Every structure is written in structure tokens, then in C-alpha cells.
Amino acid sequence: MTAGTTQPTRWPRISKDLQDFPVVPNLADYDAVCRAFSWDGARRALSGLPGGGLNIAHEAVDRHAAGPRAGHEALRFVRADGSTHSLSYRELAEQTSRFAAVLAQLGIGRTERVFSLMGRSPELYVAVLGTLKNGSVFCPLFSAFGPDPVRQRLQLGSGRVLVTTRALYRKKVARIRDALPDLTHVLLIDADGEPEPGTLDLAMLMAAAPGDAGIASTQGEDMALLHFTSGTTGTPKGAIHVHEAVTAHYATGLYALDLHPDDVYWCTADPGWVTGTSYGVIAPLVHGVTTVVDQEEMDADRWYRILAEQRVTVWYTAPTALRMLMKAGADRASGHDLSVLRFVASVGEPLNPEVVVWGREAFGQPVHDNWWQTETGGIMIANFAATEIRPGSMGRPLPGVEAALVQRDENGKPVIADGLPVLVAEPDAMGELALRAGWPSMFRGYLHEEERYRRCFAGGWYLTGDIAKRDADGYYWFVGRGDDVIKSSGHLIGPFEVESSLMEHQAVAQAGVIGVPDPVAGEVVKAFVELRNGWEPSEELRLDIIGFARKRLGAAVAPRMVEFTTALPRTRSGKILRRLLKARELGLPEGDTSTIETPQEAP
């Protein structure tokens, strides 16, 4: 395999001093914790259902409600005007039991699918956990999805119930209802007694349901959650997760998010994305902490206010949001008391080293990048609270997670010999990131797509489709999605590295980098660049950015072409859609665009 470019080592490592920690970190000695860890041990920290079996909702809610933490604040919703509304573990247990009883009364059984289409309202959180209590399967959809993605997912998942609002129902579902024969019940959270044809009033049903109904006696391997993830082409895939996943949510909440019982924790992700479910609902509740939920969309001043006013101690967010805060300027943070914030983590796409370091200026904390996917169900690789950060690296595998890099052939396919993937041994070489199968939150299938699922595995390893490098000390460095890696004059170029360098130019806010065909080099690098506030596109600036990148990356890697854009196409979860940039550049079909944030003009 051709060697890649050098890693962004110009950024000094960030070491930690245990003396500085306001609480004793859950993972202080990485090697010792990894050696002592077993998934069975982690599972024993959970209580399991009283009669045997395992149910996520029991671990997240009922066992706290039955003990001394019953009155502890579980969820704190921040409304548009900044006022809050809270549910204790006891209240959450009661409401989720009512929701489960409503489903049972409607004849919704085990493994049947309950979908949601709504913003981050209390009813959404009650529906997730109530569905699990009934032994049914929950599938959250982004409220911003249009009618087509909603129909496609409800059809693929054979949704029996949809929980939504009147406005969303009218706008997105009513007219496609005929195409959804499996959908027998639509529950409106805001029906207010006024009938809407074809729907039921959830509040009325809840009021009439018992608040102390039991919980379904699910087993660890029973299906619990269905998360749709976009394929690069074709239809979205429905990743199946089981109740056993809660063991990983617990262990990763402990080690990767360093959750402690008195934490006030804020995960900015919407439950429509897997992060918003695994870490916006399940992991923090399993740890019995208080979770803040902002019901509004991202806004720099609002976010700083929430961090300060809600006295958030642990914050889990995403690179795009952090880059937007950075674009707004660190001075926006000043005047907000962030002194109790002790841990900041990020996930979802590459986190530029500049942002990691900038975190110290804005939040008094570096940002801890971590890596995982819909398919892995939980965090797999992380920078931990107490371990050294190498800015630009996504960190090291979680205890219990075995990661490796698999060699790729000339066509970018993983090299398999005698049924086993051939692993990359030498440090700093690229390969496809693979995980030894068997961690509890591993997806158990793609719904109705057995063959597609099977193709993700080789010789007991799950192949992630991401390209990475590993340094001599076991830190992983993201290079790109397998499909996004650029091959130019024999060099393999990771778009992330080029984007990170471009972002160090004072005028550049965000960048998306692709390879475009070139008769001589095979491919050459093209960058789409969003400028920071106060900068205007000009030929001079374009040349300056190219020159800047050349100095840092060398002529072989720096973009030959830079095009200014005002809006890079992104998914709802914030990922730059490089394949869409490429399809538009080359005039190719755009593939599945259902997860795109807002329809963008061609750049």
C-alpha cells in the first residue's frame, strides 16, 4: 500500500495531570483498565430484569425509580424561552409504563416497530423507553425528513405505530398514508382533544392507561432499536440493535464520557441520529445522571447560555457545531461561567486539531474526539478524560474493543487470505479500520438484507468502511471514508487532512475536499471552501489559500483547485457529504440524499 501523507504532528500533545481533576476519572490508567476489563464484568454492573432477561428501559429507568435515586432529576428539557421542565426517574418510570400500556392496549406486540417523527420533546423520550418496556422496537426519524424519506423508512421497517405532531402528520404523513398499509396507529402528542382523521390522541390514551404496568421480559438478544443509516447509493439500511447493547452504553458512558452520578450531562444530538439515542437517552440514564435536552436548534449564544445556566459538567457534541462556534469567535463564550464544565467530547466526523485546541480557549477544556458508527451502536475509539490527547487523533479503542487495520488492494478492497483479513502491522500505514466482532452493541443485521450484513464481516472482523492509520502507541488517525479517499499520482490522500490544513488559513471556516479525475495524476484534489465571516471570495484569496495549503501539505497533496461556496452539503448529523460534492462536480446521479440537512444549490 502506498504510504500516505504525514500526520498533523505540528500540534503539541495535550497531557493531563490527575491533580487537576475535580472528580476521580473512571479511566485513569488505560492499560490497567483494558487488562482488567471484560464484557461479562460490565454486564454484571447492570441489574437485569427481576425474573431474568435484559431490557434497556429497566436499566435506564425502572431500577433507578425503585431505589434511592427515584426522585433524582432524569431529564431536563430547555424550552425556546430558556425555561425548563424536568422529569425525575420516578416520573419517567411512570410515564414510560403508561406508554407501554397504551401500546399493549392497541395490540402492538413484541418486535413490532414504533416510529417517531418529532422534535426533542418529552414525549419522544417517553416513547423511546415506553416502546422498549413493551418489548417493541423503536425507530426514531428526524423531524426534518420530507415525506419521501419518511415513507421509505416506515415501509422498510413495517412501522405499526407512528408518534408525531399534528403539523408533521399533516405535512408529511397524511398524504402518503395509503402507501403505508402496516401503519395501523398514528399517535399525536398535541391532539388537544380535537379530532384529526386517522389519528389518536396520545395524552388521552396515556391518562387512561395504568402507570405501574410491568415490563416485557425481553432477552439480551431481542431486537430493541432500528436505526436507518444512509447507504452511499441506493436505499437506506436499517441497522438492528438488541437489548444487550445496553452493556456497551453503560461501559462507554463510564469510560469514554467519564459519567459520574452527580453529572449534568448534555448531548446535543437529536435522537433521529444514533448518537441522540445511545448517548442522548440510554447511556446517561443508565448512569442515573441528569440529562439536559435543548428543544431548539443550534445557536451559538443560546448554547453558551445553556452550558452556563444549566451548569453542564459533561458535554457531548459534534465537530460541525464546534466549528460553527469557532466561526462565531471564542469571545462569545466570555461572560458565561463555564467553570463546572469538566469534559467535552465530540463525534460524527473528523475533528480538526485546531478545534481540539480551540476548546481550551472557549470552554477551558480541550475537545475529546471519539469514533463510532450506527453499526457499532456505541463508542469504539476515544480520547479519554485522563489520557493524553494527540490533536487530530480519534484516540484509542475502548476497553473490550479490539481494533485493527486491514490492508487494501489496488481497487480499495480489503485483502482477505484464507478467509482472514490481512492486517497492517507497521505503524503509520493506512488500512481499513476493522473491529473484532462480538462487542454487545454490535448491530445484529440490516433489516431484510442478510447478504449486505454478511459482506461487512470477514474472518470474525467487522469491516467499518473507514480508512485510518495507527501510530506506534496505538492512537488511531482518521483518513477518510473508503469511498472518499483520493488517489493522486500514486499518493493516497485523506480528505480530512487536507480539510484540516485549509481550515488553518485565517479566511477558511469549513472545507470539503474531493478527488476529480485527471488524465495525468489519476485524480487531483479539489477543495470547496466556506469563508469565515468578514471574508469575500476573490481570485487573490483563492491563490493565497492554494499557496498556503502547498506550503503545509506539499504540491502532491494540496488542492489544485479551490472553489468558494456558501453552504457545503451536510447530513442532518453534520457530516460533509463529499460523495455529493463529487457527484455534482462530475454530473453523476446524487444517490440517496434523504439525510441531507437542507437541499443545497450545487456549489
| Residues at the interface with ligand AMP (CB under 6 A) | 229, 274, 347-351, 369-371, 373-374, 394, 464, 466, 478, 481, 573, 575
Q: How far is the CB of 334 from ligand AMP (least distance, A)?
A: 28
**Helix boundaries (H) for 117-268:** 122-133, 147-156, 166-168, 202-208, 245-255
- Dist. CA 460–CA 402, nearest whole Å: 11
Minimum distance between the CB of residue 318 and ligand AMP, rounded to whole angstroms?
Answer: 9
Our CB check for ligand AMP shows the closer of 202 and 239 to be 239
In the complex with ligand AMP, the residue whose CB is nearer, 160 or 579, is 579
Q: Write down the least CB distance from residue 424 to ligand AMP, Å.
A: 18
Q: Which CB, 227 or 243, lies closer to ligand AMP? A: 227
Minimum distance of ligand AMP from residue 435's CB (angstroms): 11
Give whichever of 303 and 371 is closer to ligand AMP, judged by the CB atom: 371
Rounded to whole angstroms, how far apart are CA atoms 285 and 46?
A: 12
For ligand AMP, the closer of residues 250 and 478 by Cβ is: 478
* Cell 488500512, located at residue: 431
Q: What span, in angstroms and rounded, lies between the C-alpha atoms of 103 and 114?
A: 9
Query: Smaller CB distance to ligand AMP: residue 134 or 230?
Result: 230
The least CB distance from residue 557 to ligand AMP, in Å, is 19
C-alpha closest to that of 263 among 336, 347, 340: 340
Distance CA 220, CA 440 (A): 9
State the minimum distance, in angstroms, from the CB of residue 322 to ligand AMP: 12
What is the nearest approach in angstroms of ligand AMP to the Cβ of residue 240? Answer: 14
Residue in this structure with the C-alpha cell 445496553, named with its chain if needed: 246
- Determine the Cα–Cα distance for residues 403 and 338; give it in Å rounded to an integer: 35
Residue 64 CA to its chain's centroid (Å):
26
Q: How near is the Cβ of 16 to ligand AMP at its closest, in Å? A: 19
CA-based nearest residue to 153, from 238, 231, 224, 223: 238
DSSP label of 136? -
Which residue, judged by CB position, is nearest to ligand AMP in the bound state? 374
- Closest distance to ligand AMP from the beta carbon of 274 (Å): 6
What CA–CA distance (Å, rounded) separates 65 from 60? 9
Q: How far is the CB of 182 from ligand AMP (least distance, A)?
A: 25
Q: Among residues 317 and 600, whose Cβ is nearest to ligand AMP?
A: 317
- Backbone φ, ψ for residue 225 (5° rounding): -135, 145
The closest alpha carbon to 475, from 1, 7, 2, 39, belongs to 7
- Quick one: angle between helices 495-503 and 539-553, nearest 10? 120
Task: Give backbone dihedrals phi and psi of 11, rounded to 5 degrees, phi first.
Answer: -85, 120
CB-nearer residue toward ligand AMP: 136 or 352: 352
For ligand AMP, the closer CB: 432 or 585: 432
Edge to edge, the sheet with strand 290-294 lists 84-88, 73-78, 290-294, 264-267, 314-317, 343-346, 367-371, 381-382, 396-397
Cβ-based nearer residue to ligand AMP, 353 or 440: 353
Q: How far apart are CA 79 and CA 305, in angstroms?
A: 13
